[in-house]
Structure 1
């Protein structure tokens, strides 16, 4: 009975967080999941360059497409459901992984506390990110991974095979854990490799390759294409690089937040008592190996090491459980309250306030896309003058209208002196608009333009043909491309004047009036 109550609590908490987490984090949350699912289901949308290069698996977007198809079948394919339903589905998976984390940590109360109060997991657990799916599957697999004192099991390998196919970098984390598993298994290495590892990899890989080949329309092995583009061609560096030590000094400490200090304490305790904590030591080896390999890659992001979070929390929970046996009740409550407060502050601010404008602006855009018609009866045409992929797209509009945005594709054709479209625009916004956006006749111009307020002074001449209709707060922190607010402009329409009825000119005043243009 207790197990059901714990799972119900996890589920209720994750579903509640769906309605709390309202901010924008990274483009992949929409562009590699919802947008692909929308295109597969409804036949229109935008597919990024990753899909033309075949480096992404369709397995995750197909699950969203199936959900969209079900909504459409029941007549519920409205924007609010298209946005919420995939996140609720992710909340179900995250809640189940939380429960597996609880069981993995031997039903520890500290495990419940840590997984529910972790600010970064709260921030990411219900987002439609493949990294979130990877983390959930990793946690579930780790809960099945045989411990030092448990009988040998191979169930975890099925999940490992799946997660490594849809997210090839997951193999980095699982490589040392699988080596350890083969070393301590009662079966020989040859038997494990042939009858377990290779067999399971072949079965899962065949199904996955079949699904991807069907979706792409040709035979393709997406992990292989992923390796070619991201490792051999190093395309990821286009999106920013960090020093090699970034994950150790910034990445991992940031996602751990207030748990960083007790995690360091747990590391020291584990290293000093390796024989007492063999499972914790093995997990530390896998964590260190993953961080070292990731540190060799130039492009780094917090979400890349998200699957390490449950491992670090598991080690921390086990250490806190041992510590609390000797600590006084008041000390335990003070420590727990401090960790709760210092997790809640970033969780609430980053989930509810920071970088919310680019998602909130989609509400009026969706309404305009549905209702707007110009004088000729044409639908709205939107121009997003923002860093590429700053907003969601068709999954949040669900209207087959023109949504033009600045692209930032890598140099896929090896052109000399290549500059992506977004960089070209920001180098000289006014000149780019003059060469890319027609101004005559006015009806050829976009009906609506979306931009950050920091750009407004640079394109004031272009905006003379528009009027501001919406201002949405985005962030308290800005840079040269991202402002405090998101602005939505609508094109000013000139309405031909109607000839007024003739009235008697009682005072014989000459009619020198001029046509009056109404503005909408």
Structure 2
């Protein structure tokens, strides 16, 4: 016997729902089902006559035909049923639930024909019926009012409907969407991970790179706040501005007002601030690529940026090049690239102007980008008059005011800087390289094992990224025309290269895991070696000097230090934070145009022993401590013995000594009246 189903009817096979079905014949004995039938399936459109001559509007009872042949879609109208029963053809395609309402007890799907054979229309015997059921179809009646009901429908009406919680961002309110995005428009866990990584990066870089990371930032800031320190010739000639050192001077002033201006805080607080800014730049690069492409490519670019050994080596240092790189990446986030959703001409031009104030050569990578923006702008005059000129005027005025306060007169340091380094090309005093150095050595060394992925990505990246490739090539060409070349000069375009490296990794199909392993391990080993081992002696020796100065202050004894190494090899008062008399070999360039000019360091290294005897002919002027590289020890050993100097400390510096730079640093201490100044 067929068993009536409960709602909903969507559990029926889809094949049954697509066929035109014939409505069941009317049941003359039960008329209670029509109201429920109309509520579920809607009002019927046509009727049919019943065997008893009832009207077309007669009451209906749901039936199921068992064993009837499957109707064909091309069979046409249904023939009249036996016994003179005329059945009108009716299409149930538009019904909300077109199909059978019954199923067999074994769970199999019934045939779609709703008209049972004549033999199956006989009333069910009373012996086989339960009380309260239909005699024809066997459906149960409700005991109260005699109407039929579906148990499933009744049970569902009493249950509370629980809707599935939507996880898509389309269903979130603006407040919830902002909370889910977290800081900087990205996931909060990604932001915290990046910041934590750069903080670890900061503490895992304990080596020196170039003198400018101390002498052009921290040393100037220390002099601004504590009124003692050393200002190099760039500041006396006004080639540098105070905008960048003012950032660290503000930190020093706060620490001084709080009474926590210890030497360790003076060293690490500026570096931690630089690490935080670098983390923001990394996140901006990731967000930009996610806007331009998709999250998968953005992750590969982000991975390349984080595992770059040169980025790890430089991004936490207090170099003007590091700040220039940070501002360049953040400005690129607001630059109107094709597909970018965060373009803002005022923001990106302000960041470019600030980078120019800090380091005037920062405008070099932006020349092709600015020209492209101007070329594609529809309202070129408005772009210049309403955006570029106001931003440039405000930032340049700010720089002039700051330099006026500290120099004492109006000075345009950006012009002096470009005049000295570009127009007069006096940077060759500190070394020169052949024109192809960046292409043959500098750029491959900075990229490292990223180089093959960069070349591969240049052929895969879409056309809209050609402007980034043009920017990289333009920067290399411009810097190649200058005689003085350094690795750090091309650091600002390194994040541009990571875009192409990310494209290469995304398109790798074979050997992807080995390539990633080689890329990660090679960069990690190189980053750890350069950050913890290579050229660390100059920082360790200043820590030792700081401790010596502190002990001498407690003992109330006078002491002095003379650093007999290439000029600016070590930090100075910013890493000692004690007014200890210190001296080093100076090396200012010749600004008068003399030929055969030699600075103090060059004169010293021509004949170190003769220079020492001539400089310290009187024992009263001898310094307490001498700091030298090990390569100089043999040449001045006679002076050390005659003046009662004794080696008291040795520090490792590098595995790659070169020229005047040795592998170790020695500290010699002078005996005075049989007493040795020790820690």
Q: TM-score of the superposition, structure 1-length normalised?
A: 0.90
Q: For residues 101 and 28 of structure 1, do their structure 2 counterparts lie closer, same or farther at Cα, with a shift above 3 Å needed? A: same
Match of 2:469 in 1: 284
- Equivalent residue, structure 2, for 1:514: none
Aligned mates of 2:249, 2:214 — CA distance in 1? 13
Give the aligned partner of residue 506 of structure 1. none
Larger radius of gyration: 2
Distance 1:125 1:142 in 2: 17
Gaps of 5+ in 1: 271-276, 496-516
Aligned to 1:355: 535
How far 1:268 sits from its partner (Å)? 2.8
Are positions 1:458 and 2:638 aligned together? no
1:355 aligned counterpart, secondary structure: coil
1:295 and 2:480 matched: yes
Match of 2:210 in 1: 26
Instruction: Name the CA distance, whole Å, in 1 between partners of 2:558 and 2:498.
Output: 51
What is the Cα deviation at residue 190 of structure 1? 2.0
Structure 1 position 150, deviation (Å): 4.1
User: After the TM superposition, which residues 16-95 of structure 1 pair with which residues of structure 2 at under 5 Å, given as runs?
Assistant: 16-95=200-279
User: Paired residue for 1:509?
Assistant: none
Greater mean alpha carbon deviation, residues 221-230 or residues 143-152: 143-152
* Contact kept? 2:454, 2:500, Cα under 8 Å: yes
Where in structure 2 are the equivalents of 1:87-486 lying within 5 Å? Answer: 87-106=271-290, 107=295, 108-150=298-340, 153-154=344-345, 155-185=347-377, 187-270=378-461, 277-321=462-506, 323-324=507-508, 327=509, 331-372=511-552, 377-440=556-619, 443-464=620-641, 465-486=644-665
Contact 1:148 1:278 in 2 (8 A): no
Asked whether the equivalents of residues 369 and 401 of structure 1 are also in contact (C-alpha less than 8 Å), the reply is yes
Q: Any idea what SS the aligned residue of 2:634 has?
A: helix
Q: Assess, with a 3 A threshold, how the Cα gap between structure 1 residues 158 and 478 changes in structure 2: closer, same or farther.
A: same
Structure 2 length-normalised TM: 0.69
Call closer, same or farther: CA 1:15–1:416 in 2, change over 3 Å: same
Q: Secondary structure at the match of 2:568?
A: coil
Q: 1:148 to 1:307 in 2, by over 3 A?
A: same
1:400 shift after superposition = 0.8
Q: 1:503 maps to what in 2?
A: none
Kept after mapping to 1: 8 A contact 2:288/2:340: no
Query: How many residues align structurally?
Result: 484
Q: Is the 8 A contact 2:541 2:651 kept in 1?
A: yes
Instruction: Give the one of 491, 501, 506 matched to 2:670.
Output: 491
Three-state SS of the structure 2 residue aligned to 1:224 is: helix
| Superposed CA offset, 1:56-80 (max 9, x none) | 1211100000001111111111111
Whole-Å Cα distance in 1 between the matches of residues 306 and 601 of structure 2?
39
Counterparts of 1:313 and 1:26 in 2: how far apart (Å)?
Answer: 24
1:518–1:229 CA distance, 2 compared to 1 (3 A): closer
Shift of 1:13: 0.6
Q: Look up the SS of the partner of 1:450 in the other structure.
A: strand
Richer in helix (by share): 1
Q: Distance in 2 between matches of 1:13 and 1:373?
A: 39
Higher RCO (CA < 8 A, seq sep 6+): 1
Residues 670, 677 of structure 2: 8 Å contact kept? no
Instruction: Render the CA deviation track for 1:415-460: whole Å, top value 9, x for unaligned.
Output: 34210111110000001111112443xx431000000011000001
Q: CA deviation at 1:153?
A: 2.9
Q: Which residue of structure 1 aligns with residue 151 of structure 2?
A: none
Distance of aligned partners of 1:318 and 1:459 in 2 relative to their CA distance in 1, 3 Å threshold? same
